[in-house]
């Protein structure tokens, strides 16, 4: 899914990212289950998009999220929002991608 939005980063060193700027993030959510549900799904993509895209798209991530909205933190947050999700990649721009993988031992999924 693609999420458009703006943010600025709080960093301990000078960076252009400290100023407000925007991205069209490309987000890929990876889900798994031992069995498919009664509809033949691991997770309903519509519900995932509604929960993530519906909340973040065209928003100010600094106002919507309680943390420094780096691509890494965004990937972790998205993974934590979806019980079936074990991994999320967030591409901020061409060649710049963060991937978060849930620790299997701390997961209640499966």
Residue-level pLDDT at 103: 85
**DSSP annotation of 19:** S
Model pLDDT for residues 42-71, shown as the tens digit of each residue: 999 999 999 999 999 999 999 999 999 999
Specify the pTM.
Answer: 0.89
What is the distance between the alpha carbons of residues 56 and 58, in angstroms, rounded to a whole number?
6
> What pLDDT sits at residue 106?
53
Q: 59-60 and 21-31 as β-strands: parallel, antiparallel, unpaired?
A: unpaired
Instruction: Report the pLDDT value the prediction gives residue 105, as an integer from 0 to 100.
Output: 58
What DSSP letter does each residue of 33-94 carry, written as one string?
-SS--TTS-SS-HHHHHHHHHHHHTTEEHHHHSSS---HHHHHHHHHHH-TTEEEEEEEEET
Q: Residue ranges of the chain with pLDDT lower than 70?
A: 105-110
- Domains of the chain are 22-104 (3.30.479.10)
Q: How far is residue 74's CA from residue 83's CA, in Å, rounded to a whole number?
A: 16
């Amino acid at each position: 899914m693609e999420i458009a939005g703006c943010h600025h980063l709080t960093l301990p060193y000078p960076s252009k990212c400290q100023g407000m700027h925007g991205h069209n993030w490309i987000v890929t959510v990876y889900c798994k289950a031992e069995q498919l549900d009664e509809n033949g799904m691991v997770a309903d993509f519509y519900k995932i998009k509604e929960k993530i895209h519906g909340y973040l798209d065209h928003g100010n991530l600094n106002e919507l999220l309680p943390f420094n909205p780096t691509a890494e933190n965004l990937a972790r947050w998205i993974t934590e929002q979806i019980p079936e999700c074990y991994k999320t990649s967030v591409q901020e721009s061409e060649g710049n991608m963060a991937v978060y993988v849930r620790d299997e031992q701390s997961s209640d999924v499966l």
